[in-house]
Amino acid sequence: VEDHTQAKRVEATRRDFVANVSHELKTPVGGISLLAEAVMDAKDDPQAVDRFARRMQGEAVRLSSLIKEIVELSRLQGTPVLQDPELVEIEDVVALALDHLRLEAEAKQITLTDKVAADLYVRGDEDMLITAVRNLVGNAISYADAGTAVGVGARLQGDTVEIAVTDQGPGIPEHEQTRIFERFYRMDAARSRATGGTGLGLSIVKHICANHGGDVSVWSEEGHGSTFTIRLPAAPDRVEHTEDITAQGDPNR
């Protein structure tokens, strides 16, 4: 007797992934094709050519972003276990992630704040962790209203490092919260296209956390914003070091 359940599940997942990728790629490719025809028909109208060319550029950027994220997701799924994890300081991860997004936040008049405890370390891949935090903050900026704030906090809870990203956006309906980490899932497809969303950002965050032995969760209430929390195992040697320092400073221990 042979159990093929897992193999069938993997095959079904692969088929769904290929079907979703094909569908998502057709949209920007079809848009570029139609816009190219429009440019040819409007070659004697400089203003129309300029308008169509700008839209083509936008579709090309979205296509490039989609391909990049598909490759990134495939890489994460293909290497579920990190090779040679390094000691990563969370303060640096948050700082670098926010640096990538400051111009985008300023353009929407959104204030970025951070409150990260000192000496927070995990074992892993710094670039992956920066990508995870950047994706969460980028989502918050995309969906938050102008003039609001997006905050990033990090702390040690027992032997777990928690990184929380909080926004003052419209919130996520409860029935949507169980699906937002699925590949290509978007609550508002029209708004996602307008902001350049691919529906892969949160799925990438989920896989990065899993590859680091952690997870990601969301708390949200409509009209009251959202908080996404990444939980990762703290580097064991750093936890012991922190506990030793705490004990030395406490006369009762």
Q: Which residue has the tokens 């203003």?
A: 47
Instruction: Grade residue 36 by pLDDT with cuts at 50, 70 and 90.
Output: confident
| Non-local CB neighbours of 25 within 8 Å, separated by 6+ positions | 63, 66, 67
pLDDT in tens, 68-125: 767 777 666 666 667 778 999 999 999 999 998 999 899 899 999 999 998 999 999 8
pLDDT in tens, 195-247: 455 567 888 899 899 889 999 999 998 888 899 999 999 987 655 555 554 55
By the 10 Å C-beta count (0-12 exposed, 13-18 middle, 19+ buried), 34 is classed as middle
Beta strands in the chain (DSSP E): 86-89, 111-116, 121-124, 149-157, 160-167, 215-220, 226-233
| Non-local CB neighbours of 105 within 8 Å, separated by 6+ positions | 111, 112, 141, 150
Report the predicted TM-score, pTM, of the whole model to 2 decimal places: 0.69
Radius of gyration of the CA atoms of the chain, in A: 21
Cα–Cα distance between 136 and 227 in angstroms, integer?
9
Instruction: Grade residue 191 by pLDDT with cuts at 50, 70 and 90.
Output: very low
Task: Report the relative pairing of strands 86-89 and 121-124 from DSSP bridges.
Answer: antiparallel
Residue 33, pLDDT above cutoff 70: yes
Cα–Cα distance between 119 and 89 in angstroms, integer?
7
Cα–Cα distance between 101 and 94 in angstroms, integer?
11
| Non-local CB neighbours of 65 within 8 Å, separated by 6+ positions | 196, 198
Closest CA to 94 of 181, 169, 164: 164
